[in-house]
Amino acid sequence: MRVVLSGGGTGGHIYPALAVARQCEEIDPDAEFLYIGGQRGLESKLVPQEKIPFEAIDITGFRRSLSLENIKTIMRFFQGVRRSKALLKKFKPDIVIGTGGYVCGPVVYAASKLGIPSMIHEQNAIPGLTNAFLSRYVDTVAVSFEGSEGAFPKAKNVLYTGNPRATTVRLANRDRGFATIGVPMNSSVVLVVGGSRGAKAINDAMIAMAPQLSQLKDVHFVYVTGESYYEQTLDSIRNQIGSLPNHLHVLPYIHNMPEVLACTSLIVNRAGASFLAEITSLGIPSILIPSPNVTNNHQEANARTLEKAGASVMIVEKELSGSSLFQTIAGIMGDEALRNRMAESASSLGKPDSADILVKEMERLARKR
């Protein structure tokens, strides 16, 4: 099968596309890929590292207010469609899949106009603008959250698949996770992370609650600050408590996050869709702090889905403090029965076969051509 992948801007759009590619390879070792992404997006760095052929188009997103820049964006969209058509005619894919972000707009739209089977995957409970636009043109819309199918009333076919990142983490080696963070095997681990780039509000809460951590015996705390916040966060913690105790580990970034997640007892994080797919696949209880700076406040909608199911406790950022976060952590880590119930609820939401479901739908659409 020949597959064109598109999606970008953030890891939340890129990693699901890469997960689909890896699942395609598992089913069909002869599968061939082309990834079409943005010139300036994170995908231009991540995709070549995965040894997947990459082509770039020049595209930007719409601004919420009336702006001359939006006229330029429309022009770039049609230029992107023309370039995408040329790339698609040359590669001759059997299927085109977009995983969100404005870059997949011209690519998937071009595929529909050329009569190439196409589909999109929506990671969030509330769809992004690009996927909402594309839903009327593609053959299938895949959604991550059960019950969100109604968000695409003009789609030909909507399929609940879950997020393919769930498949990526299902076989993660927890022993390597313990080794990565340098804690004894089978320790209780609370992982606090603000996303791949970090989050100032979460880092501030990390700093504020650091003196209280010793109150929880036999619990290791792992702070992942993001590269840009690392030195500042580490210095602030040291100013409060001196040298780091054995139960506190401060890291700028974790490269093998699935393995570290596999050894985690409780996670504190934003509510990005890909991360939620990973923690539900592994059945990890969570404290979610949705970013207020995202389109349509979709992270809060994501978090409320887990909270309603009993898998998570949500703290909105304006109510976040070191004290409120530590009290919530202590309440969960001090109640094993509660933690087990949250883990079971998280597992019930997980869909570890998500990538397999997506690839089978891609094969079905490709056969119809």
Domains defined for the chain, CATH in brackets: 2-165+352-368 (3.40.50.2000), 171-349 (3.40.50.2000)
pLDDT in tens, the chain (369 residues): 999 999 988 888 999 999 999 999 999 999 999 999 998 888 999 999 999 999 999 876 665 555 666 667 778 888 999 999 999 999 999 999 999 998 999 999 999 999 999 999 999 888 988 999 999 999 999 999 988 999 999 999 999 999 999 998 888 999 999 999 999 999 999 999 987 677 899 999 999 999 999 999 999 999 999 988 999 999 999 999 999 999 999 999 998 999 999 999 999 999 988 899 999 999 999 999 999 988 788 899 999 999 999 999 999 999 999 999 999 999 999 999 999 999 999 999 998 899 999 999 999 999 977
Residue 116 CA: distances (Å) to CA of 17, 178, 366: 18, 46, 8
196 among annotated binding-site residues: yes
124 among annotated binding-site residues: yes
84 among annotated binding-site residues: no
11 among annotated binding-site residues: yes
Give pLDDT, residue 125.
87
The closest of 359, 363, 344 to 306, measured between CA atoms, is: 344
Give pLDDT, residue 65.
57
Q: Taking the model in full, what pTM does it have? A: 0.82
Instruction: Report the alpha-carbon distance of residue 302 to residue 108 in Å, rounded.
Output: 25
Q: Helices (DSSP H) in 92-218: which residue ranges?
A: 104-113, 129-134, 165-169, 174-181, 200-209
Q: How many CA atoms lie within 13 A of 326 on its CB side?
A: 18
Provide, for the chain, the percentages of residues in helix, strand and coil under a 3-state DSSP scheme, each rounded to the nearest 5: 50, 15, 35
Instruction: Report the alpha-carbon distance of residue 11 to residue 246 in Å, rounded.
Output: 32
Task: Indicate the SS3 state at residue 243.
Answer: coil
Q: Judge whether 168 and 356 are in contact, CB under 8 Å.
A: no
Task: Indicate the SS3 state at residue 186.
Answer: coil
Q: What angle do CA 24, 27, 28 make, to 5 degrees?
A: 75
115 among annotated binding-site residues: no
280 among annotated binding-site residues: no
Q: CB count, 10 Å around CB of 368? A: 8
299 among annotated binding-site residues: yes
Give pLDDT, residue 70.
61
Give pLDDT, residue 194.
82
Give pLDDT, residue 32.
98
